[in-house]
Structure 1
């Protein structure tokens, strides 16, 4: 019997300074596995742009099963399961919600819980990237090409986020999701109804739902340090108990955090940490029940 084999290469890069606040990071990746690799992608406060020059990735999320090549995953408030076997190769671009609104020039609530293929976005600059990145000789050239494409979109951006929405989103980020809707409305000088309408169009989720995702993402980063991306998070890379994380992130108690993990990640925190930290795959029975196959 052939032995299972997994190989991976990851290369991080910083976006162009002009994209600060719009793009979190770039990651070039090459993965190859002789057996299925299954991952649980819990909600985060970012849009994920996958520019793939490898085979499609099987996914199951709130919108149902799919097998896209290159795609943009909007904000999610539910878990997405992914699976591949063989080769995966491409560049991942993590966009802030306001970055997505600025660069794509479309309401972000249209993308919530969806992952449309790049050619469905009506953005030719993005649709052309997979083929062109595949032809580039290395990661520096690929990152430079992504920079150029996004800078071009920024230069032609038809609209910018409202300063009030930008402030509200930044306030949620700074407080780890602890800021309430009343505080955000007071800070913007808007009514709650107007804040809800403008925030949802430019961020994707409503303020309360966005706060829930931001708080959950902070808890995940404290429990699974390998998932942290920012320098500020790296400084907090210490082992913490679930009760400690619950208190630090503003959950009522351990049980409250566990309920949130079940709701947003589909499993309790202990199982989530085991899957990511100890590289424990999602049980085949769960994937079979979910059926990650693309529609016929």
Structure 2
């Protein structure tokens, strides 16, 4: 789990770049962020989004006087924390109130009562830890292991090999992985590889080098993948502010 804090006076159509995690935005400020989900759909206030949200470049956040804590949860633990499977999100942006009811308002009030980001992170960590302990059973050990292999290899692993390593058929791995983590294993590997590549681009590395290091066939392959996930080019996505909260892209900066 990672956390970052945002305080933005004027948030103007910030593109949400897909990420291989379940994302929570816990707002507590005077304003209220709005997430435009495409096709005229919107969500206001605190939200939850499944892995890969924003694929295609169609999800943007906006608002005035926005203050929030962003939490990125591994899909492996998200089910216990949310009391809902990432698969139930079905790639959509969901209001936190729809999942947690009045607890969402209580969290908002408690975050607003503390004055420092350090205290907000500590409070958020404790709240989510309690939910995790009280939540439903974890995912299958084989699914968790496959996820760790995918993330550990930065997406450079064959699904046939994963299935063989856990002693399952490819079909069984696909079914269990998809139902418990919210996306098929092959797509998860592509998303993890993309995430690593795009943060390397944001860190200022050249596209040709990034393509080679991330395991793409060539620079054109990287270009197609970035376009598919973000709707824009590698050169453009490298300057996306949404990537600036990650230490991989900005190792010299702390949490904002």
Structure 2 runs not aligned, ≥5 long = 245-256
User: Which of structures 1 and 2 has the bigger CA Rg?
Assistant: 1
Question: Residue by residue, what CA displacement relative to the aligned partner does 1:215-268 show, whole Å, maximum 9, x if unpaired?
Answer: 10010111012xxxxxxxxxxxxx421111111111111111111111110011
The structural deviation recorded for 1:47 is 1.2
Instruction: Give distance in 2, aligned partners of 1:224 and 1:260.
Output: 16
Question: Alignment partner for residue 99 of structure 2, among 114, 121, 127?
Answer: 121
Query: For residues 142 and 271 of structure 1, do their structure 2 counterparts lie closer, same or farther at Cα, with a shift above 3 Å needed?
Result: closer
Query: For residues 159 and 221 of structure 1, do their structure 2 counterparts lie closer, same or farther at Cα, with a shift above 3 Å needed?
Result: same
| Superposition CA RMSD, Å | 2.2
State the partner residue of 1:261. 226
State the partner residue of 1:30. 7
TM-score by length of 1: 0.75
The structural deviation recorded for 1:127 is 4.7
TM-score by length of 2: 0.86
The structural deviation recorded for 1:63 is 7.0
Question: Residue by residue, what CA displacement relative to the aligned partner does 1:63-111 show, whole Å, maximum 9, x if unpaired?
Answer: 7531310011111261343242421102111111112122223222111
How many residues of Structure 1 are paired with residues of Structure 2 in the alignment?
240
Question: Alignment partner for residue 242 of structure 1, among 201, 207, 213?
Answer: 207
Instruction: Give distance in 2, aligned partners of 1:203 and 1:139.
Output: 30
Matches of residues 1-296 of structure 1 in structure 2 within 5 Å? 23=1, 25-33=2-10, 37-54=12-29, 55-61=31-37, 65-76=41-52, 78=55, 79-122=57-100, 125-225=103-203, 239-276=204-241
The structural deviation recorded for 1:199 is 0.7
Structure 1 runs not aligned, ≥5 long = 1-22, 226-238, 280-296
Instruction: Give distance in 1, aligned partners of 2:25 and 2:156.
Output: 30
Query: For residues 100 and 187 of structure 1, do their structure 2 counterparts lie closer, same or farther at Cα, with a shift above 3 Å needed?
Result: same
